[in-house]
């Protein structure tokens, strides 16, 4: 056999090998749209939209995924493109603890109401790199991560320090919570106390209370730094006259935190202009928090 024939044979074998490997890979990879984490993002965004918390492109969610689980659906070596970590000032924002971690994140300018019908356009799965994120799936048609990604990543770092099982950061514009921002003092103790008074179980759901930031420009590193600082202490942070941030271990826990604050704020807004005849007393809140064994902010109660 001549040298050329031998060479052709080697090429043929290599090509066959590559084709077989590609075929094997596509056979073993499951359909990403059936992944539980994609379905959870879709369902949650639809629920948030229907709750009226996420008008137009309002709100954003980031969800830390398990690499092994993602590898069942995607080839982790196939980076579709790199997206810069917009507006990042390295001195303020060191992403090192998150490098290599994979998140599913809502896209900038995308509407929550459209996510369920078209997850591939409205969501992205990204791996964090030094000054950019590597797109592994989604943002079809040239989309990018939410403009609030710096705030989200900073919050993840703060919450992971407080609780290594934290996975979800969620931002939205819940109506009554926002309304309450205009008529109630924006003091963390007073605001939390009022919310706790509005439904018996509030103190057990968010015993750590609600942190509050004054009005700040959104989409910036500084609001991210300030939110993350609050998140060292609180799982819920209000952005005055804008909305709320929640963080938790699961999508249900995080959604439930915001839902419970919003319910309490709704009751406040339904009753604030009426004479208050009955109320839950601080001693009763203490009793409940202790029954549920909650590590509650006792300094947010006015106990005698």
Catalytic residue positions, numbered = 148
Which listed option, Zn ion, ligand 2HA, none, makes contact with residue 209 (CB within 5 to 8 Å by class)? none
* 119 touching ligand 2HA, by CB under 6 A: no
Instruction: Output 59 or 124, the one with its CB closest to ligand 2HA.
Output: 59
With 0-12 / 13-18 / 19 or more C-beta atoms within 10 angstroms meaning exposed / middle / buried, residue 286 is middle
177 binds ligand 2HA (CB under 6 A): no
Chosen residue from 44, 57, 62, 192 binding ligand 2HA by CB under 6 A: 57
Query: How do 243-248 and 81-84 pair as beta strands?
Result: unpaired
Q: How many residues does the chain have?
A: 304
Our finding on whether 243 is near Zn ion (CB under 5 A) is yes
Residues 21, 17: Cα–Cα separation, whole Å: 6
Residue 66: its H or E element:
none
Q: Is 286 helix (H, G, I), strand (E, B) or coil?
A: helix
Confirm or reject binding of residue 181 to ligand 2HA (CB under 6 A).
no
Closest CB 178 distance from ligand 2HA, rounded Å: 12
| Residue entry with tokens 């209370």 | 209
Binds ligand 2HA by CB under 6 A, chosen from 41, 49, 59, 265: 59
Q: Does 60 bind ligand 2HA (CB under 6 A)?
A: yes
C-alpha dihedral over 132, 135, 139, 140, to 10 degrees?
Answer: 130
Note whether 197 binds ligand 2HA by CB under 6 A: no
Phi-psi region of 293 (alpha: psi -120 to 50; beta: other; left: phi over 0): left
- Residue 44 as a binder of ligand 2HA (CB under 6 A): the answer is no
Query: Which of these ranges, 38-46, 106-114, 240-248, 273-281, lies near Zn ion under the rule CB under 5 A?
Result: 240-248
State the virtual CA torsion across 259, 162, 135, 93 in degrees, nearest 10.
110
Q: Which of residues 254-273 bind ligand 2HA (CB under 6 A)?
A: none
**Applying CB under 6 A, which residues contact ligand 2HA?**
57-60, 146-148, 171, 218
């Amino acid at each position: 056999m001549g040298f050329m024939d031998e060479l052709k044979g080697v090429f043929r074998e290599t090509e066959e090998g590559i084709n077989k490997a590609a075929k094997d890979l596509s056979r073993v990879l499951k359909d990403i749209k059936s992944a539980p984490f994609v379905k959870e993002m879709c369902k949650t965004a639809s629920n948030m939209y229907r709750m009226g918390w996420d008008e137009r492109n309002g709100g954003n969610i980031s969800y830390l995924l398990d690499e092994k689980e993602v590898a069942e659906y995607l080839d982790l070596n196939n980076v579709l493109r790199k997206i810069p970590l917009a507006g990042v000032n390295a001195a303020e924002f060191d992403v090192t603890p998150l490098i290599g971690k994979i998140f599913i994140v809502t896209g900038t300018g995308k509407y929550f109401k459209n996510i369920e019908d078209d997850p591939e356009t409205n969501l992205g799965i990204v791996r964090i790199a030094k000054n950019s994120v590597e797109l592994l799936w989604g943002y079809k048609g040239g989309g990018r991560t939410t403009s609030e990604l710096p705030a989200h990543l900073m919050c993840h770092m703060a919450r992971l320090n407080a609780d290594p099982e934290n996975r979800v950061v969620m931002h939205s514009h819940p109506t009554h919570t926002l309304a309450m921002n205009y008529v109630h003092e924006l003091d963390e103790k007073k605001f939390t106390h009022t919310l706790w008074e509005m439904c018996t179980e509030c103190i057990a759901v968010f015993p750590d209370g609600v942190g509050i930031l004054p009005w700040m420009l959104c989409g910036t590193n500084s609001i991210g730094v300030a939110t993350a600082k609050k998140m060292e202490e609180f799982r819920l942070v209000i952005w005055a006259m804008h909305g709320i941030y929640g963080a938790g271990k699961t999508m249900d826990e995080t959604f439930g935190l915001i839902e419970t604050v919003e319910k309490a704020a709704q009751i406040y807004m339904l009753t604030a202009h009426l004479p208050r005849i009955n109320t839950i007393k601080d001693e009763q809140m203490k009793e409940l928090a202790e029954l549920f064994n909650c590590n509650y902010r006792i300094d947010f109660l006015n106990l005698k």
